[in-house]
Amino acid sequence: MFFDKESFKQAYLEKFAEAEGKTLDEGTSWDKYHALVLLLKEKISLCRALSNEEYSREKEKQVYYFSMEFLIGKLLPFYLVNMEIYNLVREGLVDLNINLEYLLEQESDAGLGNGGLGRLAACFLDSMSFKGVKGHGNGIHYKYGLFEQKLVNGFQAEVADNWLKNGYPWEMRKPDKSVVVKYKGKVRIEYVNDKLNFIHENYEPILAVPYDIPVFSYRNPFYINNLRLWSAEPMTTGLDLELFNRGEFNQAISYKSEVEAISYILYPEDSHNPGRELRLKQEYFFVAAGLGSILRSYKKSNSAIHEFANWVAIHINDTHAALCIPELMRLLMDEEGLEWDEAWEITVNSTSYTNHTILPEALEKWPVVMVRYLFPRIYMIIEEIDRRYRENIRKRFPKEPQLSDQTAIIQGDLVHMAHLAIIGSHSVNGVADLHTRILKGQIFTHLNQIYPNRLNNKTNGVSHRRFLYAANHELSQLITEAIGPHWKRDAGELQKLKTFAYDSSFIEQLARIKTQNKHRLVEQVRKRQGIELNPYSLFDVQVKRIHAYKRQLLNVFKIMNLYNHLKANPNYLREPQTFIFAGKAAPGYHYAKTLIKLINSLAQKINQDKDVNEMIKLVFLENFNVTLGELVYPAADISEQISTAGKEASGTGNMKFMMNGAITLGTLDGANVEIREAVGDENIFIFGLKAEEVLRYSLQSSYKSWDEYLRDPQLKRILDQLVCGYFQDVGGEFIPIHDSLLHYNDEFFVLKDFNSYYETYLKMLNYYSQKSKWFQSTLINIAESGRFSSDRTIKEYAEGIWNIHCR
Ligand SMILES: *Cc1c(COP(=O)(O)O)cnc(C)c1O
């Protein structure tokens, strides 16, 4: 890398002149950003060449992480921090009259994911590189990522995310590594020399072209990994000139568009599977392209196909990539000539699967007719996997004849993707202890009985280098001054901070840094949305996708109740508070979009009301993404993690808040349970129903939301306010929310948990007024957050699933 400012400046000026062909004065901010990325990329390539040379001497297992989503955010600031040249580069650029901040703004926040699942994949890339795992991402090069959210009259409006409009200098197109993916057509069966051959004919070929992005972790001491994203292109130059010359322009162009549609846009659906054909085509697309290229490079390494599972691990992030199982079978049998049994053994031994959700609407089930029409050979293989599976289960469990039906892959006219993934993998993991227990005990009980060692837990983690070290510069410096720099490599070292719990000067520093981070956020909110927030108030934050199970509504009710009390009694609250929401709603999810409008209507009401607006303020931040998260998590005092118990598989936002010293207000759901174990009851605020209680109410249908409404006058008032003209700017917008609670019996137990939530919140406010105690708890949260680093998670995946040793 660069060791001093002067050598950086010289290299940068040379790179700028070479790449941009103009003087620095003539260059735009984009040009200057572009040249900086090219320079760093070159340095990374150099490192890669050296490390490849060193590491290819010793053969190592390769891991391929298949994910529909990689929510990587910005790379430039993170890589500058990881290379430990951030300050050097910033100062060097100052000498050249360039402000690094402006250059950082030039980079698109690559939003190739919806939320937690995609961000997890991105954190894993960082940790795999850091831990020296040869682990590569495999995904889709969407032309448009997740939409940008704008607020118009308090409603969400969606704008296409054209993240590639100026190009993306981190990526490298590799046309020579393209793979042909085949759709539709017919399968002809031949019988030659005692062997069945399956010949796929009259298919529609599509060219998958990879774009590679280097993954560079902290000081990247090992191998530099790769994120490979596939783009769909026509096999020919794209335009059928014959059609075109005959004047049939539309037809000539429509073929090209139809092909490109496959990698055109990310489906903006969170925890929901709408069952669209294009989505299924996308799933096969990156599976077939990824496996095709893996097998090609495997064969180039001169390894025997029989040993494939010893050298290659295929990990599938949710069932979106479950077609890896039949596709690998196809490659091993049809292309490599293996028999079924051996191909199956290799497939199961190389494949592993992570389950992310138990919400029934999110479990993928595809119509048999769709699968058969789009991928006829793949469907034949799924059918055969299913047939052999049923036969085997009937033999193994003769006394339980219904077992094979209950657990089969093909159920009626649907292909059950989770069953395919479980049956075809050697490891299936949940993402938090509670989630894994629910998978074993409720969702996949029979499969767990059939494969008793297959289901296991790997609690999620987040990159503490991105969300603490890079995102919270001041706090990182304080930590390093206190315990030295080694925590960046080993987040477990954060534990050492506990010795400072009674050091009043350290506690004061924590408080000071929190306020500083609030200032930073306040400034951005002013700039972006023209809203003035009070940096000396308590920041109570709920930022995540908008979803009924995440219960933003419960938080809204709390704020309405505080507001009602404050109107009656101006001294109701001791200290000023700021309520912050952010998050996108899926465009087709009306309920979630109505929630956004409700938050904004309430914000308008509160923020304009002179009786209260010195004490409470509410803001909905536009367009939540990784970059905004990096600004928000470090500024939070309270982390709202209030999903209905049993519904949030893990959550990762909760971990990011914790690292930055926010205190959790949450239910015993997902990883909140483990956060509580880590920090102890004194340093977290837990409320509400437990997962077993929710389950019992649901099974017995014994919950009556009307009872809650009638019993609690505060709650009754709030519900009435929703629909009785209290919000001036709306008509009947909020009636569906009201109905979901009273007419549809409040599926997510908002009313049931309201009282416990509100009382716990008041306790928390009381605690907050004792500042030294509060910041002691903050310190404990930071100190215990090391176990939620994705470095720990990746070590567990490596040793427990992929069978690789890592440091
Ligand atoms: C971490 C993260 C999430 C996940 O948040 P949860 O609170 O776990 O739902 C979603 N979106 C972005 C941009 C994130 O960084």
Nearest to 432 by CA among 642, 645, 127: 645
Alpha-carbon distances, residue 390 vs 99, 375, 400, 404, 406 (angstroms): 65, 22, 12, 5, 10
Q: CB burial class (10 A; 0-12, 13-18, 19+) of residue 266? A: buried
Question: Does residue 255 register a pLDDT over 90?
Answer: no
Model confidence at 246, in pLDDT bands (50, 70, 90)? confident
Give every CB contact of residue 458 below 8 A, 6+ residues apart in sequence: 354, 429, 430, 431, 793, 796, 797, 800, 801
Quick one: 453 and 530 in the same domain? no
In a domain, 805, yes or no: no
Looking at residue 781, what DSSP letter applies? Answer: H
What distance in Å separates the CA atoms of residue 763 and residue 29, rounded to the nearest whole number? Answer: 49
Look up 5 and say whether it is catalytic. no
Query: Are both 441 and 520 inside the same structural domain?
Result: no
Please give the single-letter amino acid code of residue 343.
A
Ligand 1 pocket, mutate which of 270, 545, 625 (most atoms under 8 A from CB):
545
Instruction: Give the closest residue to 537 by CA, choosing from 619, 642, 614.
Output: 614
Q: Is residue 702 part of a domain?
A: no
Report whether pLDDT(583) > 90: yes
Q: What is the pLDDT of residues 87-113, one digit of tens each?
A: 999 999 999 999 999 999 999 999 999
The pLDDT of 696-717, averaged and rounded, is: 97
Q: What is the average pLDDT across 120-136?
A: 96
Same domain, 69 and 51: no
Which residue of the set 119, 356, 547, 792 is catalytic? 356
| Separation CA 636–CA 541 (nearest Å) | 6
State which ligand 1 atom lies nearest to the alpha carbon of 71.
13
Apex 41 CA angle, 35 and 47, nearest 5: 145
pLDDT at 242: 73
Q: Which long-range contacts (CB under 8 A, 24 or more apart) does 6-15 make?
A: 6/92, 8/85, 8/88, 8/89, 8/92, 9/92, 9/95, 9/96, 11/39, 12/36, 12/39, 12/92, 12/93, 12/96, 13/96, 15/39, 15/42
Mean pLDDT of 578-582: 98
Give the confidence band of 221 by pLDDT, cuts at 50, 70, 90. low
DSSP per-residue letters across 36-72: HHHHHHHHHHHHHHHHHHHHHSS---EEEEE-S-EEE
Strand-pair partners of 207: 180, 233
Output the pLDDT for position 50. 73
Ligand 1: residue whose CA is nearest its atom 1? 653
Question: Tokens at residue 742, please?
Answer: 């009273």
Question: Residue 57's pLDDT band (boundaries 50, 70, 90)?
Answer: low
Ligand 1: centre distance to CA 122 (Å) = 12
d(CA 214, CA 219): 14
Cα–ligand 1 centroid distance for 660 (angstroms)? 15
Q: Which of 656, 659, 674, 788 to mutate to test the pocket of ligand 1 (most atoms within 8 A of CB)?
A: 656
Predicted pLDDT at 669 = 98
Is 388 noted as a catalytic residue in this protein?
Answer: no
Q: For this structure, is 9 an active site residue?
A: no
Question: Residue 17: how many CB atoms within 10 A of its CB?
Answer: 14
Residue nearest ligand 1's atom 4 by CA? 116
State the distance from the centre of ligand 1 to the C-alpha of 682, rounded, in angstroms: 26
Residue 743 belongs to a domain: no
Active-site position among 315, 545, 647, 792? 545
Q: Is residue 544 annotated as a catalytic residue, yes or no?
A: yes
Residues in a beta bridge with 541: 580, 639
Distance of CA 642 from the midpoint of ligand 1 (Å): 14
Are residue 656 and residue 508 in the same domain, yes or no? yes
- Report the alpha-carbon distance of residue 307 to residue 519 in Å, rounded: 57
**Residue holding tokens 């340093």?**
683
Closest atom of ligand 1 to CA, residue 543: 7
Is residue 455 located within the same domain as residue 509? Answer: no
**What is the model's pLDDT at position 490?**
98
**Cα-Cα end-to-end distance for the chain:** 24
What residue ranges in 499-656 does DSSP mark as E strands? 538-543, 577-582, 616-621, 638-641
3-state secondary structure of 540: strand
Res 380: pLDDT:
98
Query: What domain range is 664 assigned to?
Result: 464-490+502-691+753-788
Position 435 scores a pLDDT of 98
* Least confident among 219-223, 371-375, 402-406: 219-223
C-beta of 653 in contact with ligand 1 (< 6 A): yes
Q: Is 629 in the pocket of ligand 1 (CB under 6 A)?
A: yes
Spatial CB neighbours of 691, under 8 Å, sequence gap ≥ 6: 434, 438, 645, 646, 668, 669
CA–CA dist 626, 576 (Å, integer): 28
> What does the alpha-carbon distance between residue 624 and residue 634 come to, in Å, rounded to a whole number?
15
Same domain, 521 and 569: yes
Q: What is the pLDDT of residue 249?
A: 75
Count of Cβ atoms closer than 10 Å to residue 102 Cβ:
13
Please report, for residues 131, 410, 602, 705, 723, the alpha-carbon distance to residue 739 in angstroms, rounded to integers and kept in the order given: 50, 37, 19, 11, 10
Lowest-confidence pick of 253-262, 504-513, 774-783: 253-262
Burial of 380 (0-12, 13-18, 19+ CB in 10 A): middle
Residues 419 and 479 in one domain: no
Verify that 221 and 334 share a domain, yes or no: yes
- Within this chain, do residues 138 and 87 fall inside the same structural domain, yes or no? no
Amino acid (one-letter) located at 111 = G
Count of residues making up the chain: 807
- Report the domain count for the chain: 3
- Range list of H helices, 453-551: 464, 473-483, 504-529
Backbone dihedral angles phi then psi of residue 196, each to the nearest 5 degrees: -85, 130
Q: Write out pLDDT tens, residues 298-328.
A: 999 989 999 999 999 999 999 999 999 999 9
Distance 688 CA to ligand 1 centre (A): 22
- Taken in order 205, 368, 330, 798, the sign of the CA dihedral is positive
Beta-strand (E) ranges in 9-140?
62-66, 70-73, 110-112, 135-140
Mean predicted confidence (pLDDT) in 753-771: 98
Helix, strand, coil in percent for the chain, rounding step 5: 55, 15, 30
Ligand 1 pocket residue status of 625, Cβ below 6 Å: yes
CATH of the domain at 473: 3.40.50.2000
Taking all residues of the chain, what is their mean pLDDT, rounded to a whole number? Answer: 96
pLDDT in the model for residue 54: 60
CB-based contact 654:675 (threshold 8 Å): yes
Beta pairing partners, 743 = none
Q: How far apart are CA 558 and CA 782, in angstroms?
A: 27
CB of 626 closer than 6 A to ligand 1? yes
Q: Are residue 196 and residue 339 in the same domain, yes or no?
A: yes
773 and 634 together in one domain: yes
CA-based nearest residue to 371, from 336, 420, 317: 420
Going by CA atoms, what residue is nearest to atom 7 of ligand 1?
Answer: 653
* Tokens linked to 248: 């049939």
pLDDT surpassing 90 at residue 70: yes
**Is 237 a residue whose pLDDT tops 70?**
no
Of 58 and 461, more confident: 461
CA of 384: how far to CAs of 244, 347, 408, 780, in Å?
44, 14, 12, 54
727 located within any domain: no
Q: What angle do CA 719, 725, 729 make, to 5 degrees?
A: 115
The CA dihedral of 754, 758, 761, 765, to the nearest 10 degrees, is 170
The answer to whether residue 767 sits within a structural domain is yes
* Contact between residue 536 and residue 511 where contact means Cβ atoms under 8 Å apart: no
- Evaluate: CB of 652 within 6 angstroms of ligand 1: yes
| pLDDT tens digit sequence for 568-579 | 999 999 999 999
Look up tokens 């989770």; give the residue: 418
Question: Would the pLDDT of 55 be above 60?
Answer: no
Q: Which atom of ligand 1 is nearest to the CA of 624?
A: 13
DSSP 319-357: GGGTTHHHHHHHIIIIIT---HHHHHHHHHHHEEEE---
Nearest-atom number in ligand 1 for the CA of 550 is 9
DSSP state of 585: -
Residue 767: its H or E element:
helix 750-768
- State how far the Cα of 406 lies from the Cα of 14, in Å rounded to an integer: 66
Whole-model pTM: value is 0.97
CB 330 within 8 A of CB 381: yes
Give the pLDDT score at 731: 86
Residue 698 lies in a domain: no
Assess if residue 700 is contained within a domain: no
Per the structure block, which two tokens stand in for 516?
Answer: 């500083």
Give the β-pairing of 414-416 and 365-367. Answer: antiparallel
Q: Which residues pair with 196 in a beta bridge?
A: 191
Cβ–ligand 1 contact at 643 (below 6 Å): no
Nearest-angstrom CA–CA distance, 601 and 559: 12
Residue closest to 557 by CA, chosen among 751, 764, 763: 751
Which is more confident, 247 or 343? Answer: 343
Residue closest via CA to ligand 1's atom 6 equals 653
pLDDT band for position 806 (cuts 50, 70, 90): confident
pLDDT exceeds cutoff 70 at 240: no
- The answer to whether position 728 is within a domain reads no
Tokens read off for 247: 């004047």
Residues 682, 588 share a domain: yes
pLDDT greater than 80 at residue 251: no
Among protein residues, the one with the nearest Cα to ligand 1's atom 8 is: 651
| CA-closest candidate to residue 634, choices 473, 432, 423 | 473
| Amino acid in position 642 | I
Residue 556 CA: distances (Å) to CA of 53, 463, 610: 57, 30, 20
| Closest C-alpha among 526, 548, 782 to residue 647 | 548
